[in-house]
A and B are shown apart, each in its own frame.
Chain A
Amino acid sequence: MNDPKYTGQEFKVVGTRVKRPDGLDKVTGRARYGADMSAPGQLVGLMLRSPHAHARIKKIDASKAEKLAGVKAVITSADLPDLTGGNSGLYDTLENCMARDRALYDGHAVAGVAAIDRTTAKKALKLIKVTYEKLPHVTDVDEALNDDAPIVQPRYAQDGRHGNLINKGEFGHGDIDKGFAEADVIVERSYKTGQTHQGYIEPHACLASVSPDGTGELWVTTQGHFAYRNNCAQLLGMDIAKLKVTSSEIGGGFGGKTHVWMEPIALALSRKANRPVKMVMSREEVFKASGPTCSTSMDIKIGAKKDGTIVAARAECRYMNGAFPGMWGTLGGMTAFACYNIANNKAIGVNVLCNRPKVAAYRAPSAPMMAFGVESTIDQLAKELGTDPVELRLKNVAKEGTLAPYGPVWGPIGIEPTLEAVRDHPHMRAKLGKNQGRGVACGFWFNIGGQTCSDLNIGPDGTVNLTVGTIDVGGARASLALIAAEELGIAYEDVRTNIGDTSSLGHNDTTEGSRGTFSSGMATIFAARKAIDVLKERAAKMWQIPVEAVTWEDGSAHAVGNEHDNLSPLTLKDIAKKAGNTGGPIAGHHEATADGAGVSFASHIVDVEVDPETGKTTILRYTVVQDAGKAIHPDYVEGQFQGAAAQGIGWALNEEYIYGEDGRLQNGAFLDYRMPVCSDLPSIDTKILEIPNPSHPYGIRGVGETSIVPPLGAIGNAVSNAVGVRMYEVPMSPPRILKALDDASA
């Protein structure tokens, strides 16, 4: 249900639950995903991957593969010269797409093949002889910082610090030593979280075609086709304008499709073979060689006065970045204490390299792990103080005017209302039975804006084509059509939203950071307003009156002033019909850097039951409360809340990359990497709060990520309450729960 308590604006169609425009195609199989496109003469591309966690590549002999009938191209790093111009991030991308002198993790690509069919391509892979020299490896984030740990990337090693420690991001304010000295109660604990994958249903897939004239096309499942275009063009020495990238329908991304993985290789194979090349990752490849999230290890310390005032907090979390540096620790450091007003706080996020795949973003990247440690510690602090954990959070909650731990003073924010909604929710008064426990936790995510442009074209019949460059990961087409309809004053059904390819619009940043509806929504509003200016001009021409005498209201031009009393309003359709005689096509366009994204907060409640015999946890009831700013299409917003909570439940209870002592991934398949399915979950209740973002015309904040932040902490608290033993490690899988129970009773 919408809660209009905080909403100031009145809307006509925004906020309604209209039919989704992509629904029919998706349920009937008509929607075209990454693997659904074909081209005449296309080849099948496959990748040869390292079987070692860390190895020097001494030699690659592809001569037999190249001679195999049906093989049209083989490439190795020798075919991919370094064109990165000293850009270290881009060089990392190049090296991740294809190993150069060393394979850095199990599954690292070492060669690519394009052949006439899959059977031939697989035969060719077997004929490529790679001579490896195995090197010592490290896959655990704490072990990677041991003095004798092998150095994963010597080029990032710096004097005065461990070679695998890339950097530390430190945030906070006040004097934590002074704060802890003032505390009556201090709780200090250590926690760990496992590495998880976003687990999107659709694997990475693309169809690449490069012509001898240097132009190319890429059809691909991606969250950011403009970023893919730019990256691929830079890595392959192509002109950006000559590579057209079209985003397919996307079967989930959650951050994992913000980076290129095999797409530059598909283009390189196509260029070499002079034929289109289609590549589709297997599920094992997705696990081993795309971008999962970090595993972590952390130490949390929080101190409070007897009255419950938290006076000091410190967090240090080590984020396993895989074989290439990222900013994951930095983000964790920024988010750690964002929900609270703590006079003295310090959070340190440490980025550490290991012989695992390059980490990518995963829905509010880095925040869930830190929140697991912080929210678990706050519950233990409440226990020590003998106070209610929700009341303790409310007593210390961040509000408008609070200094955020990473710097700015908060504007209007929603953490206190979400906590109040949790406190007052009937869920909190439901009785619990034997072996059952309840947990609550809070979460924060920034949300972002970025470069955006959109095109709004009005057809001769008055229907509207809206073209945007942010791909639709969770309902953007419906939301943006609602926004266009709201502005123009027409029916939702009269607007069709399209995702433009890279040749049809200017650069759009990737759909990440919950920015799609915020940014493209803003661009759509201003494009529609520009179109309305044109519509008013055309109406003035049709009426032969000054444009200043024309207003736009409820989808029609109105002539104002007594002298125009005889003029009946002209609808958008009336004006569109005559566009050819009044100046030609009617359109609105807007391009901008959308800044001013509104931060978002959520509070969750969960009830669990733990079977003491098996250690299995059942989620009995789950409630999400989140501030959306403004819910444009409430069904989709609720879906985002539920989806994020479901992913968090999987992370909290079962999902985990398991590496053997040989440094190889042991569970690269859904049979062994246990994601929750429908039968594992209850219906997840949602409550949307709307505290408008003052920097957006409709008050929109992002909604897609925040609700993956609280589940780890909420479930950790619930399980701990159910079994009477504190859980310090995620996932809380049955063996881990049984071990905790055994350890406690020993």
Chain B
Amino acid sequence: MEVSLSGSVRDAVGGLASVEVEAETIRELLTRLIDRYPKLEHHPEEGIAVAIDGTIYRDSWETPIPEGSEVFLLPRIVGG
């Protein structure tokens, strides 16, 4: 699947706007991305979120990623 990247996440993969990754869950996606781009290693603990078909997941790493989904890697959002 194609995973779109933005913000500091994009910086960690050398400025790429998107990467191709095969993954069935958010956990798999993050594991494979970190394997390929070690600079992403600290991003999950510092804060990362994954948007799957418009829904943003901050913590539920077992969430399945359906085939053909639109997937974005985003900074983790905080609020007041």
A169 to B11, CA, bound (A): 9
Contact assessment for B78 and A512 in the assembled complex, using a CB-CB cutoff below 8 Å: yes
Quick one: which of A256, A331, A408 has the most chain B CB within 10 A? A408
Task: State which of A415-423, A593-601, A610-618 sits at the interface with chain B.
Answer: A593-601
B residues 27-80 with Cβ under 8 Å of A?
Answer: 45-47, 51, 53-60, 63, 70, 72, 74-80
Closest beta carbon of chain B to A171's beta carbon, Å = 5
Contacts A170-B6, A408-B72 hold; do A446 and B79 have CB atoms under 8 A apart? yes
Task: State which of A37-45, A356-364, A648-656, A731-739 sits at the interface with chain B.
Answer: A356-364
Closest beta carbon of chain B to A27's beta carbon, Å = 26
Contact assessment for A406 and B80 in the assembled complex, using a CB-CB cutoff below 8 Å: no
Contact assessment for B79 and A330 in the assembled complex, using a CB-CB cutoff below 8 Å: no
Task: Report the interface size class on chain B.
Answer: 20 to 34
A360 to B79, CA, bound (A): 9
Contact assessment for A407 and B6 in the assembled complex, using a CB-CB cutoff below 8 Å: yes
Contact assessment for B78 and A451 in the assembled complex, using a CB-CB cutoff below 8 Å: no
Contact assessment for B78 and A327 in the assembled complex, using a CB-CB cutoff below 8 Å: yes
Contact assessment for B55 and A330 in the assembled complex, using a CB-CB cutoff below 8 Å: no
Contact assessment for A167 and B11 in the assembled complex, using a CB-CB cutoff below 8 Å: yes
Closest beta carbon of chain A to B34's beta carbon, Å = 17
A169 to B46, CA, bound (A): 15
**In the complex, chain B residues whose CB is within 8 Å of the CB of A698:** none
Q: Confirm or deny: A449 has a beta carbon within 8 angstroms of a beta carbon on chain B.
A: yes
A253 to B80, CA, bound (A): 8
A residues 132-172 with Cβ under 8 Å of B?
Answer: 167, 169-171
Q: Which of A170, A171, A513, A595 contacts B78 (CB 8 A)?
A: A513
A89 to B63, CA, bound (A): 27
Q: Confirm or deny: A333 has a beta carbon within 8 angstroms of a beta carbon on chain B.
A: yes
Closest beta carbon of chain A to B50's beta carbon, Å = 10
Q: What 0/1 readout, one digit per residue, does chain A (473-517) give for beta carbons within 8 Å of chain B?
A: 000000000000000000000000000000000000000111100
Contact assessment for A364 and B79 in the assembled complex, using a CB-CB cutoff below 8 Å: yes
A451 to B57, CA, bound (A): 11
Q: Confirm or deny: A659 has a beta carbon within 8 angstroms of a beta carbon on chain B.
A: no
Contact assessment for B70 and A409 in the assembled complex, using a CB-CB cutoff below 8 Å: yes
Quick one: which of B54, B63, B72 has the most chain A CB within 10 A? B54
A-B contact count, CB below 8 Å? 111
**In the complex, chain B residues whose CB is within 8 Å of the CB of A445:** 79
A residues 646-705 with Cβ under 8 Å of B?
Answer: 695, 702, 705
A445 to B4, CA, bound (A): 21
Q: Which of A87, A596, A705 contacts B79 (CB 8 A)?
A: A705
Contact assessment for B8 and A330 in the assembled complex, using a CB-CB cutoff below 8 Å: yes
**In the complex, chain B residues whose CB is within 8 Å of the CB of A365:** 78-80
A408 to B71, CA, bound (A): 8
**In the complex, chain A residues whose CB is within 8 Å of the CB of B10:** 170
Closest beta carbon of chain A to B59's beta carbon, Å = 4
A405 — nearest CB in chain B belongs to which residue?
B6
B8 — nearest CB in chain A belongs to which residue?
A167
A447 to B49, CA, bound (A): 13
Closest beta carbon of chain B to A5's beta carbon, Å = 23
A150 to B2, CA, bound (A): 42
Contacts A407-B72, A446-B56 hold; do A169 and B7 have CB atoms under 8 A apart? yes
Contact assessment for A255 and B56 in the assembled complex, using a CB-CB cutoff below 8 Å: no
**In the complex, chain A residues whose CB is within 8 Å of the CB of B55:** 408, 411, 595-596, 695
Contact assessment for B80 and A330 in the assembled complex, using a CB-CB cutoff below 8 Å: no
Q: Confirm or deny: A719 has a beta carbon within 8 angstroms of a beta carbon on chain B.
A: no
A412 — nearest CB in chain B belongs to which residue?
B54
Contact assessment for A448 and B77 in the assembled complex, using a CB-CB cutoff below 8 Å: yes
**In the complex, chain B residues whose CB is within 8 Å of the CB of A513:** 77-80
Contact assessment for A515 and B79 in the assembled complex, using a CB-CB cutoff below 8 Å: yes
Closest beta carbon of chain B to A355's beta carbon, Å = 23
Contact assessment for B58 and A408 in the assembled complex, using a CB-CB cutoff below 8 Å: no
Q: What 0/1 readout, one digit per residue, does chain A (441-476) give for beta carbons within 8 Å of chain B?
A: 000011111110000000000000000000000000
**In the complex, chain A residues whose CB is within 8 Å of the CB of B79:** 255, 361, 364-365, 445-448, 512-515, 702, 705
Closest beta carbon of chain B to A592's beta carbon, Å = 8
Q: Which of B8, B58, B76 contacts A593 (CB 8 A)?
A: B58
B55 — nearest CB in chain A belongs to which residue?
A596
A443 to B47, CA, bound (A): 24
Contact assessment for B80 and A451 in the assembled complex, using a CB-CB cutoff below 8 Å: no
Q: Which of B54, B58, B63, B72 contacts A450 (CB 8 A)?
A: B58
A535 to B46, CA, bound (A): 43
A167 to B12, CA, bound (A): 11
Q: Confirm or deny: A198 has a beta carbon within 8 angstroms of a beta carbon on chain B.
A: yes
Contact assessment for B77 and A446 in the assembled complex, using a CB-CB cutoff below 8 Å: yes
Closest beta carbon of chain B to A259's beta carbon, Å = 10
**In the complex, chain A residues whose CB is within 8 Å of the CB of B11:** 167
**In the complex, chain B residues whose CB is within 8 Å of the CB of A409:** 53-54, 70
Contact assessment for B63 and A595 in the assembled complex, using a CB-CB cutoff below 8 Å: yes
Q: What 0/1 readout, one digit per residue, does chain A (582-595) give for beta carbons within 8 Å of chain B?
A: 00000000000101
**In the complex, chain A residues whose CB is within 8 Å of the CB of B72:** 406-408
**In the complex, chain A residues whose CB is within 8 Å of the CB of B60:** 593, 595
A473 — nearest CB in chain B belongs to which residue?
B80
Q: Confirm or deny: A258 has a beta carbon within 8 angstroms of a beta carbon on chain B.
A: yes
Contact assessment for B80 and A254 in the assembled complex, using a CB-CB cutoff below 8 Å: yes
Contact assessment for A170 and B80 in the assembled complex, using a CB-CB cutoff below 8 Å: no
**In the complex, chain A residues whose CB is within 8 Å of the CB of B77:** 331, 334, 446, 448, 513
**In the complex, chain A residues whose CB is within 8 Å of the CB of B76:** 327
Q: Confirm or deny: A410 has a beta carbon within 8 angstroms of a beta carbon on chain B.
A: yes
Contacts A408-B54, A450-B59 hold; do A327 and B80 have CB atoms under 8 A apart? no
A705 to B80, CA, bound (A): 7
B residues 1-26 with Cβ under 8 Å of A?
Answer: 4, 6-8, 10-11
**In the complex, chain B residues whose CB is within 8 Å of the CB of A255:** 79-80
Q: Which of A198, A331, A597 contacts B56 (CB 8 A)?
A: A597
Closest beta carbon of chain A to B17's beta carbon, Å = 9
**In the complex, chain A residues whose CB is within 8 Å of the CB of B45:** 87
B4 — nearest CB in chain A belongs to which residue?
A407
A593 to B76, CA, bound (A): 14
Chain B positions near chain A (C-beta within 8 angstroms): 4, 6-8, 10-11, 45-47, 51, 53-60, 63, 70, 72, 74-80
- Give 3 nearest A-B pairs by CB, closest first: A513-B79, A255-B80, A407-B72
Q: A362-B80, A408-B54 are in contact. List 20 more A-B contacts (CB 8 A).
A: A254-B80, A258-B80, A331-B77, A334-B74, A365-B79, A365-B80, A406-B74, A411-B55, A445-B79, A447-B79, A450-B59, A451-B59, A513-B77, A593-B58, A593-B59, A593-B60, A595-B58, A596-B55, A596-B57, A705-B80
7 A-B pairs with C-beta separation under 8 A: A169-B8, A170-B7, A327-B76, A327-B78, A364-B79, A448-B77, A513-B77
